[in-house]
Amino acid sequence: MKKKNYLFALLTMGVALFAASCKKQEVTSSQQVAATTVATPGLQTFTVANHTIDSGMTLSQINAVIAGASAGQTVLVHSGTYNITGKIVMKAGVSLAKLSSTNPIFDASALSSQLNLAYSTDVSNCTFSGITFWNIKFTVTSSVKTAFKYCIFDYGKRKANTNKTNNLSDAYINLNSTDSSLVYNCVFCHRSTDPGRGVWVAAGCTNDIVRKNTFGNGGSTGYFVCAINDNSQSNSIIDSNTIARNTALNSIDSLSDHGLYAHSFNGLVISNNTFTSGWQTNDSGGDIKARNGQYLTISNNTLNDAGILLYEYVNTPAFPYLKYVVVSNNTINISSPASDMYHGIGYYRDNTTDSEYSINITGNSLPNGCIFATSNNIVAANFNAAGGGVYTNDTATGYVLLRSGITSSGNY
């Protein structure tokens, strides 16, 4: 009997030791990296383990956690407000995401000017997800597959005495020569004291997508000079965004630079966007303005207060034309009829060195609106080329005013 008890005890001890050994191996395998500590005089010592940013960490401690992660890993951020006074140092392939249902706040509102975080390939294959940024902008250059998802941008400070022409760099997200970047399901806010821009997809960008974002609430957070700018090189998509501007800005031309403003593009899709309240009906307004580029589709958008402006200016030598344009199935709600290019769909060019080519305007609903293309510079045969023309648009009590020779049929 004693022998059996002794053997049983040895067997039990062996099982325990084996289990402990397995557990240790499991933890070591899951963590991948050994824990380190970050200490700040007078503050708690935090453990940098499991790639987690804890409430109360300083910027240097946040950066230390990110530095401890490897490409393909995600640093999780506890809810709380973090004082951000300088650069959040990123690593290619490392993402930042909220840990709970409540967004953590990265707060730079104590600074006197907007904090510009400049990145390059150090944010390639990085995703920022579910984080609120106060008074912070991102300038991203030459990265690949950088994504902003479910983030909130607010309280961006505008330089004193600037207007739409001398402060073009106040967008919360400014992409330059990036490839396959994504801005998805984010919220952008501008307050009455600091009107500004939301997202700028700038020169050299390819395959970038701006989708399902919200710009303003039509009231306290809707003070936008311009919601989205696009000067991309090729194949950008701006889709399913909601723009709600505070129309109090409509009386201030210096703070109006069109709702969605695109130029110098080569392959651009603007689709399914909704302007619940928009820009004014003059040359500083228009919910959508597109000029000087090629291969443009504007379709299935809903616009209120103002319409779509198509321009071909002489001062863009790289694209001295507007070619292969389709404007289709948009709904444009104008309060009362007006016979000008600002209350519906308007096309104008002052360029005499080149010409439009294939401008197709089809199936749009603008009962009080006007389809306007009367400029003497328009070459009707080029406008009509490759399926161009004006077809089956609902203008009801509105107008269809076209230069002689432009093909037009089925409009009612």
Q: Which two tokens stand for residue 210?
A: 């701006």
Residue 227 resides in a domain: yes
- How does the average pLDDT of the chain come out, rounded? 89
Residue 294 resides in a domain: yes
Residue closest to 362 by CA, chosen among 410, 307, 292, 306: 410
Residue 8 resides in a domain: no
Question: Are 310 and 298 contacting, i.e. CB atoms less than 8 angstroms apart?
Answer: no
pLDDT class for 161, splitting at 50, 70, 90? confident
HEC secondary structure over 280-340: CCCCCCCCEEEECEEEEEEECCEEECCCEEEEECCCCCCCCCEEEEEEECCEEECCCCCCC
Residue 64 resides in a domain: no
pLDDT class for 219, splitting at 50, 70, 90? very high
DSSP 3-state assignment of 60? helix
Which of 33-42, 162-171, 231-240 is the least confident region?
33-42
- 333 has pLDDT over 70: yes
Render the burial of 84-120: b for 16+ CB within 10 Å, e for the rest.
beeebebbbbbbbbbbeeebbbbbbbeeeebbebebe
Residue 65 resides in a domain: no
Residue 55 resides in a domain: no
- 407 has pLDDT over 60: yes
* pLDDT at position 15: 38
User: pLDDT above 90 covers what percent of the chain?
Assistant: 81
Averaged pLDDT, 375-384? 96
Q: What is the pLDDT of residues 138-156, one digit of tens each?
A: 999 999 999 999 999 999 9
Residue 53 resides in a domain: no
pLDDT class for 48, splitting at 50, 70, 90? low
pLDDT class for 192, splitting at 50, 70, 90? very high
Neighbours of 22 (CB within 10 A): 10
- 260 has pLDDT over 80: yes
Residue 63 resides in a domain: no
Domain count along the chain: 1
User: What's the CA gap between 411 and 272, in Å, rounded?
Assistant: 23
HEC secondary structure over 167-234: CCCCCCEEEECCECCEEECCEECECCCCCEEEEEECCCCECCEEECCEECCCCCCECEEEEEEECCCE
Neighbours of 55 (CB within 10 A): 12
* pLDDT at position 21: 37
Q: How much is the pTM? A: 0.88
Q: Which two tokens stand for residue 191?
A: 């307050």
- 8 has pLDDT over 70: no
* pLDDT at position 242: 98
Structural domain range at position 317: 82-409
Q: Phi/psi of residue 326, each to 5°?
A: -125, 120
CATH number of the domain encompassing residue 371? 2.160.20
* pLDDT at position 39: 41
* pLDDT at position 49: 56
